[in-house]
Amino acid sequence: MTAAPNLPPAYSLVALDEVDSTNDEARRLAEAGADDGTLVWAQVQREGRGRRGSAWVSPKGNLYLSLVLRPECAAAEAVQLSFVAALAVADALSGLVPPMSEIRFKWPNDVLLNRQKVAGILIESSTTAPGRLDWLVVGIGVNVAAAPDDVSPPATSLRGEGCRPVTVVEVLEGLSRHFFVWVNRWLDDGFAPVRKAWLRQAGGKGEAITVNLPDESFTGIFADIDGRGALIVELADGARRVVTAGEVFLGGAR
């Protein structure tokens, strides 16, 4: 392993050279009673995962982490931590990217750099009987040195976009600091300030998007996200449709 990162005291670091998946390891630790703030960081993932079980290519040189959280909230609110994580990623990258670079968010869990995916977020959780959250794992992958080819949407890396030389440790340190700030903002003030900040950098807002659901696809205008984090799409007839889970493609038909 490289030198240990300097993280906020609220985090307890589990640093690994190689793991099947940081989310899987964080889940195992959470189920065994790991404390809030346990952060699993690996140099390489053998079986990295994205949303809906998609593979997340995980060579050495990129950032792979998963954070165990135990917030006192309803399980239905857990999705909001994806927006918290996106804001933290954007703030961490803002000081690293070249001037005039564009950092945007794609609902529900991608961070785009110059319209290409540079980071992804995966939320997994376990609930107790009355619908309260037991634990939650926030997985974050950031393409620092390399990005996969032949993926949709297209991916990029910090290096590929001409960022100054930066180490994985530097990105991890910045991300952990900004996540600490945003998660406490969410805990103290709720989703409203998170939603407002996320929408300021939302990719495709007011533009045509295509939403893929398990049994259908449809196109409309990305109008908003609601107070829970659901996507609001305006259809051609003026009706609005609320989407709580799905795959979004910017720019219309797909």
- Provide the mean pLDDT of the chain: 92
pLDDT at position 18 is 94
Which of 186 and 49 is assigned the larger pLDDT? 186
Taking only the tens place, the pLDDT of each residue in 162-221 is 998 999 999 999 999 999 999 999 999 999 999 999 999 999 999 999 999 989 999 999
Please indicate, yes or no, if residue 1 is contained in any of the structural domains: no
| Tokens found for residue 206 | 């007011």
Same domain, 185 and 93: yes
Query: Which pLDDT score, from 0 to 100, does residue 50 have?
Result: 54
For every residue of 204-236, DSSP letters joined together read TTTSEEEEEETTEEEEEEEEEE-TTS-EEEE-T
Is 29's pLDDT higher than 90?
A: yes
Q: Does 119 map to a domain?
A: yes
Supply the pTM of this predicted model: 0.93
Query: What are residue 212's DSSP bridge partners?
Result: 217, 247
Same domain, 119 and 184: yes
**What is the domain range of residue 122?**
12-200
Q: Give the CATH number of the domain where residue 40 resides.
A: 3.30.930.10
Per-residue model confidence as pLDDT tens digits over 102-130: 999 999 999 999 999 999 999 999 998 78
Q: Looking at the structure, do residues 227 and 178 belong to the same domain, yes or no?
A: no
Flag whether pLDDT at 76 surpasses 60: yes
Q: Are residues 76 and 192 in the same domain?
A: yes
Is residue 7 situated within a structural domain? no
For residues 216 and 186, membership in a common domain is answered with: no
| 4 domain residue, yes or no | no
For residue 59, pLDDT beyond 90: no
In a domain, 52, yes or no: yes
* Number of compact structural domains in the chain: 2
Q: H-helix or E-strand containing 140?
A: strand 133-142
Q: Please check whether residues 157 and 31 belong to one and the same domain.
A: yes
Q: 164 with 231, same domain?
A: no
Strands 103-106 and 208-213: unpaired
